[in-house]
């Protein structure tokens, strides 16, 4: 029985009927979160409707309440998956279609959509055949990539020319091998092999950039903020660790490059920033891996202090890029210092960054996201022709031994999307924390969730958003 002030709502989903108890004064956003928890969902790619034929959608918002939308104790609300990927997505679509068919709805529309998505995928691949990818990607695409293994003296029972499951070649994305070699992230080309393997050859895998903006052109309602629907509303984002990375290693051709760059800090005590010019090449330590080889550091006009760097307009930017192209180089990343001297005589520096503080500040993540968006990665599998970025971030700071140390980073595709669509901003008092804008009359911001895991429980929390 529901407590005083609470009502019981029934949720009709493809898996059956569920009941939830929730205050009648709760917002629709809280209703979505309760449905997410009750159905044990992994993400928020779903919508809730008041009608069985999936009309009268209840939009996730903080400004409207359950009772304000006419929901009463014992009412049924209808759950529907709105987006998803791979086999899990296809399973959900089939389940929803079966549910609809049981209530007199046709399932042919989903089949048509499935065929259309396959056709769109084939058309996008065909259209991108002439796309000029980076040379290293072209080379890796022609490489077998499978990891060769020698004959195991204990497990292999065949002769020297034979082969069995214990010594046959394995895929570059084999989890046991990656764990053995302590490789935390798949290389991007290994990720492509994994997604395009199998019977469907990846035709259901959408290599699409994440969208955080309302899709334009919807004619079913008034423009935002007066109206929004599931067709034009961007999906909620659940932040998670990206399993692949576009660049697996950064290497400077010689130490003099970094020494010259650090001389400014050694002389003035002020921080410094520069752009990295170089090439991409194969990195043999990771299956189908890519290394960024840095040949030059260009320091653009900037104003800096002990704690900050401000970039100025660079009238020579295009000329520098043109010279780099003539030399066979391109921008592959950026580098900045965050160094505070501890003992000048001993040459030691303070350790500012680490697991107890932060590795990159929110402002640095936003800067990296902006630069990655300006330098996208050409990809023939993406309908837009680009997917992610190989642009790297190198931070020069102090390590545990109080010596000058360099670390390489790249922000995820989720961060790139949040930065591109102006959803992520830094906080004033905590540099390690970012802030998600709240929706306004001029901009709709989707829900952004993140997970906090412990040994005993897993919590799904919502960041600051509408």
* Radius of gyration of the CA atoms of the chain, in A: 26
- Residue of 163, 386, 433, 139 lying closest to 281 (CA atoms): 139
pLDDT at 202: 53
Q: Does the structure show a pLDDT above 80 at 100?
A: no
Band of the pLDDT at 128, cuts 50, 70, 90?
low
pLDDT at 73: 87
Per-residue burial over 332-346, b if 16 or more Cβ lie within 10 Å, else e, is bbbbbbbbbbeeeee
Question: How far apart are the C-alpha atoms of 125 and 128, rounded to whole Å?
Answer: 5
Band of the pLDDT at 91, cuts 50, 70, 90?
very low
Judge contact between 59 and 233, C-beta under 8 A.
Answer: yes
pLDDT one-digit tens code per residue, 338-390: 999 988 888 899 999 988 888 999 999 999 999 999 999 999 888 888 999 99
Weakest-pLDDT range from 94-108, 386-400, 420-434: 94-108
In terms of C-beta density within 10 A (0-12 exposed, 13-18 middle, 19 or more buried), how is residue 463 classed?
middle
Torsion angles phi and psi, residue 122, rounded to 5: -65, -40
Please list the residues that pair with 19 across neighbouring strands. 10
Q: pLDDT higher for 130 or 184?
A: 184
Torsion angles phi and psi, residue 440, rounded to 5: -130, -175
pTM, two decimal places: 0.71
Judge contact between 300 and 312, C-beta under 8 A.
Answer: yes
Q: pLDDT higher for 199 or 337?
A: 337
Band of the pLDDT at 168, cuts 50, 70, 90?
confident
pLDDT one-digit tens code per residue, 236-251: 898 888 999 999 999 9
What's 90's DSSP letter? H
In order of their start, the domains of the chain are 6-106 (3.10.20.90), 244-462 (3.40.140.10)
pLDDT at 303: 94
Q: Does the structure show a pLDDT above 70 at 3?
A: no
Judge contact between 85 and 204, C-beta under 8 A.
Answer: yes
Torsional class of 114: left (φ above 0), alpha (ψ -120 to 50), beta (otherwise): alpha
Question: How far apart are the C-alpha atoms of 183 and 243, rounded to whole Å?
Answer: 11
pLDDT at 129: 59
Q: Does the structure show a pLDDT above 60 at 184?
A: yes
Q: pLDDT higher for 259 or 94?
A: 259
Please state the rounded mean pLDDT for residues 69-86.
76
Weakest-pLDDT range from 47-56, 122-131, 159-168, 178-187: 122-131
pLDDT at 103: 36
What's 302's DSSP letter? E
Q: Does the structure show a pLDDT above 80 at 232?
A: yes
Weakest-pLDDT range from 89-103, 165-179, 252-266, 286-300: 89-103
CA 219 to chain centre: 30
Question: How far apart are the C-alpha atoms of 333 and 276, rounded to whole Å?
Answer: 5
pLDDT one-digit tens code per residue, 413-451: 999 999 999 999 998 888 888 899 999 888 999 989 887
pLDDT at 209: 87
Q: pLDDT higher for 105 or 181?
A: 181
Task: Look over the chain and give the mean of its residue pLDDT values, rounded to a whole number.
Answer: 82
pLDDT at 367: 95
- Residue of 315, 302, 307 lying closest to 273 (CA atoms): 302
- Residue of 229, 212, 225, 224 lying closest to 58 (CA atoms): 229
pLDDT at 304: 92
């Amino acid at each position: 029985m529901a407590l005083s002030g609470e009502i019981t709502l029934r949720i009709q989903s493809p898996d059956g009927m569920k009941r939830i108890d929730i205050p009648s004064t709760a917002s629709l956003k809280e209703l979505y979160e309760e449905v997410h928890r009750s159905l044990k969902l992994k993400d928020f790619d779903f919508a809730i409707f008041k009608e069985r034929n999936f009309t009268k959608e209840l939009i996730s918002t903080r400004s409207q309440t359950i009772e304000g939308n006419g929901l009463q104790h014992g009412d049924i609300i209808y759950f529907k998956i709105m987006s998803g990927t791979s086999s899990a997505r296809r399973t959900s679509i089939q389940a929803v279609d079966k549910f609809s068919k049981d209530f007199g709805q046709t399932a042919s529309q989903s089949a048509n959509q499935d065929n259309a998505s396959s056709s769109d995928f084939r058309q996008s691949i065909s259209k991108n055949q002439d796309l000029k990818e980076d040379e290293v990607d072209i080379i890796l695409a022609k490489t077998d990539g499978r990891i060769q293994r020698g004959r195991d003296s204990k497990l292999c029972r065949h002769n020297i020319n034979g082969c069995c499951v214990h010594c046959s070649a394995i895929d570059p994305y084999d989890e046991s091998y990656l764990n053995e070699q302590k490789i935390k992230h798949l290389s991007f080309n290994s990720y492509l092999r994994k997604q395009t393997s199998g019977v469907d050859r990846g035709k259901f895998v959408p290599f699409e950039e994440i969208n955080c903006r309302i899709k334009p052109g919807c004619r079913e309602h008034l423009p935002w903020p007066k109206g929004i629907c599931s067709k034009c509303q961007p999906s909620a984002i659940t932040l998670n660790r990206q399993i692949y990375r576009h660049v697996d290693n950064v290497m400077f051709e010689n130490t003099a490059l970094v020494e010259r760059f650090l001389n400014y800090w050694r002389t003035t005590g002020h921080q410094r920033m520069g752009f990295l010019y170089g090439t991409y090449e194969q990195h043999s330590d990771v299956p189908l891996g890519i290394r960024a080889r840095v040949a030059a550091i260009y320091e653009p006009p900037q104003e800096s202090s002990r704690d900050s760097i401000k970039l100025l307009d660079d009238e020579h930017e295009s000329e520098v890029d043109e010279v780099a192209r003539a030399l066979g180089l391109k921008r592959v990343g950026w580098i900045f210092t965050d160094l505070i001297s501890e003992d000048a005589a001993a040459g030691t520096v303070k350790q500012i960054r680490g697991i107890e503080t932060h590795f990159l500040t929110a402002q640095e993540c936003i800067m990296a996201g902006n630069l990655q968006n300006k330098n996208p990665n050409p990809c023939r599998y993406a309908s837009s022709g680009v997917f992610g970025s190989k642009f790297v971030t190198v931070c020069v700071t102090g390590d545990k031994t109080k010596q000058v140390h360099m670390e390489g980073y790249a922000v995820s595709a989720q961060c790139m999307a949040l930065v591109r669509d102006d959803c992520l901003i830094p906080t004033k008092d905590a540099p390690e924390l970012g802030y998600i804008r709240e929706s306004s009359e001029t901009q709709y911001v989707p829900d952004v969730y993140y997970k906090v895991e412990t040994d005993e429980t897993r919590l799904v929390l919502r960041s600051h958003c509408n």
